[in-house]
Structure 1
Amino acid sequence: MNSFTDVQSALPGSQRQTQPQVNSGSRTVTHTEASPAVSRWALYRHRRTSRRALLELTDDELRDIGLDYSQACIEAGKPFWRA
């Protein structure tokens, strides 16, 4: 593989860059190449917001997802970088 197009053709279809779709004169980006660091920070943000949301659920809502309040507190108390 000597060029970018060789790498592109070796990638599975879901990982290839796609051409932006044009809708009524404006461009909509359908796929971007994000660095692993950006993806990691997105994961950290998701964990943080999800864990905070657990504390806002009622006992009935927690029971619906198979947790009790003490389990929700333990999960919400974890730092965002810990799975």
Structure 2
Amino acid sequence: MSGISDVRLSLYAGELQRGQEDVVKTNAPRGLGLWGLYQHRRRTRQALLNLSADQLKDIGLSYEQARQEGLKPFWRE
């Protein structure tokens, strides 16, 4: 048998979660400073507001969900 068994994966999952508690979960590129993160959020939220209905459907968001996320201030997670 090659690879990691399900038992090992479930054991490691708990360790990984404990190790990630202090890490901010974000899709921003690594290495950004605080202002870089803010700029990334502003840019991606603005892009979200500009998506068409078909594009929103493709990513599984409703118009209201996209609007709610897109209108959040850049300093909020």
What TM-score comes out, normalization by structure 2 length?
0.56
Q: Which has the higher helix share?
A: 2
Q: Structure 1 segments of 4 or more deviating over 4 A?
A: none
Structure 1 partner of 2:59: 65
Structure scoring higher RCO (CA < 8 A, sep ≥ 6) equals 2
Look at both structures and tell me which one has the larger radius of gyration over its CA atoms.
1
Instruction: Spell out, residue by residue over 1:13-71, the C-alpha distance to the aligned partner (whole angstroms, 9 max, x if none).
Output: xxxxxxxxxxxxxxxxxxxxx8xxx6110000000010001111111101111111100
Structure 2 gap ranges (5+): 1-30
Q: TM-score, normalised by structure 1?
A: 0.53
Q: CA deviation at 1:74?
A: 0.3
Q: Which runs of 5+ in 1 are unaligned?
A: 1-33
**Identity value in percent:** 55
1:54 corresponds to which of 34, 48, 63: 48
